Amino acid sequence: MRARAVPRYDIPYVNLPAQADEQMPELAAIFEKVVRRGSFVGAGAEIERLEARLAEYCGTREAVALNSGTDALFLALKVAGIGPGDEVITPPNSFVASTAVIVHLGARPVFVDVLADQNIDPAAVERAITSRTRAIMPVHLTGRVCRMDRIMDIAERHDLIVIEDAAQSIGSMFQGRKSGSFGHFGCFSAHPLKNLNAMGDAGFVTTNDTVAAARMRRLRTHGMADRETVDEWGFVSRMDVLHAAILDYRLDKLPDVIAKRRENAALYQRLLKHEKIFVPPCRQDEFNTFHTFVIQAERRDDLQRHLRSIGIKTAIHYPLPIHLQPAAASLGYRKGDFPATESQADRILTLPVNQYMSAQDVEAVAGEVLAFYGV
């Protein structure tokens, strides 16, 4: 039998140069306008316009533009009053920022395990509630919204605050409602690798609480109520005007970005049918925007090495769960505490799903994954 000749590809995981090619004239015009006016930080027309549009897009009364998804989480927890002695329930398979902000406020992250689709298990949330629990922070990982009906029900019954880590899920929906509109706060990232991306760090919080939004607007600029008055000690967490202008422009493109990523994901889902690969199916009641397309596969490291060797870039989100990170040692968790999270960490592989991939690219990646398993 003749060995199959393996072709060479050049399929990047993200394709920011393609985005630059597509948008350069408009980006240059935005850059020139902002630079010539010379107003780079602080509230202004671009910030206000973006905030109004983001709130409308997400279906909330308010959106507060900030410098990152991390500060969005931090300020949401802070205005929610989370502090020393409080417990916040969250999954251990997120990006480290969701746990770090809890620790920085002096509160305790209480991890609970996840379901097969990598999102927090509502039943485990309920079991973890103690007299010190103040908040639940579900993470809509990969662009898939958690089971927010059950989480909001638990929160209401136990009088808990819900802070959605929606960093990866702009535009995603559950039962027809947008992520970031279920809880008291929705915290988004507009990091360059997100579906709505700035050209540096940026993020925002959504909320229906106008008082909390006003406080976050003060806290993001040193706690200042105006140029002379400092209401409380604050931070430098505001969004740069340049990023706001870029995000305002790119918000118009977001529906197309999401549509293309969903198309690529649907093709993967059709093609990647094999006993050694698990692809979390889409539920009827969800609208996933596929910030990432994550499969769970046997011999994951070998598969990733093989794909890399033939020019297909992949990633792992995330190889070491947060409870096993050196920084988490003082929290007292051990290997074995979260079996689903830990076994997924050994099996997950993020395939490229970006909006600049053609159907042929997706077919090539899926074909090579299957070929690796001898199909």
Q: What residues make contact with ligand PLP under the rule CB under 6 A?
A: 68-70, 94-95, 97-98, 139, 165, 167-168, 189, 191, 201, 203
Per DSSP bridges, beta strands 87-90 and 108-111 are parallel
* Residue number, 184 or 274, with CB nearest to ligand PLP: 184
Residue 204 C-beta: closest distance to ligand PLP, Å: 10
Return the beta strands (E) in 152-248 as ranges. Answer: 161-165, 173-174, 177-178, 185-189, 203-207
Of the candidates 260, 262, 256, the one whose C-alpha atom is nearest the C-alpha of residue 293 is: 262
* Residue number, 277 or 322, with CB nearest to ligand PLP: 322
Q: Shortest Cβ contact with ligand PLP: which residue?
A: 69
Return the beta strands (E) in the chain as ranges. Answer: 62-66, 87-90, 108-111, 133-136, 161-165, 173-174, 177-178, 185-189, 203-207, 277-278, 286-287, 293-297, 348-351
* Residue number, 135 or 272, with CB nearest to ligand PLP: 135
Residue 172 C-beta: closest distance to ligand PLP, Å: 12
Spatial distance between the Cα atoms of 90 and 141, rounded to a whole number of angstroms: 12
Residue 82 C-beta: closest distance to ligand PLP, Å: 16
Residue 186 C-beta: closest distance to ligand PLP, Å: 12
Helix (H, G, I), strand (E, B) or coil at 204: strand
* Residue number, 187 or 364, with CB nearest to ligand PLP: 187
Residue 304 C-beta: closest distance to ligand PLP, Å: 20
Residue 67 C-beta: closest distance to ligand PLP, Å: 8
The DSSP letter of residue 293 is E
* Residue number, 315 or 370, with CB nearest to ligand PLP: 315
* Residue number, 105 or 364, with CB nearest to ligand PLP: 105
Q: What letter represents residue 86's amino acid?
A: D
What are 75's two structure tokens?
Answer: 């300020």
- Residue 196's Cβ-count burial label (10 Å; 0-12, 13-18, 19+) is buried
Q: What letter represents residue 206's amino acid?
A: T
Q: Is 226:242 a contact under the CB 8 Å cutoff?
A: no
Spatial distance between the Cα atoms of 339 and 362, rounded to a whole number of angstroms: 31
Handedness of CA 293, 299, 301, 303 (dihedral sign): negative
Residue 37 C-beta: closest distance to ligand PLP, Å: 26
* Residue number, 69 or 352, with CB nearest to ligand PLP: 69
Of the candidates 177, 108, 104, 94, the one whose C-alpha atom is nearest the C-alpha of residue 138 is: 94
* Residue number, 185 or 372, with CB nearest to ligand PLP: 185
Kindly report the CA angle at 261 between 274 and 69, in degrees rounded to 5? 110
* Residue number, 98 or 277, with CB nearest to ligand PLP: 98
Per DSSP bridges, beta strands 293-297 and 277-278 are antiparallel
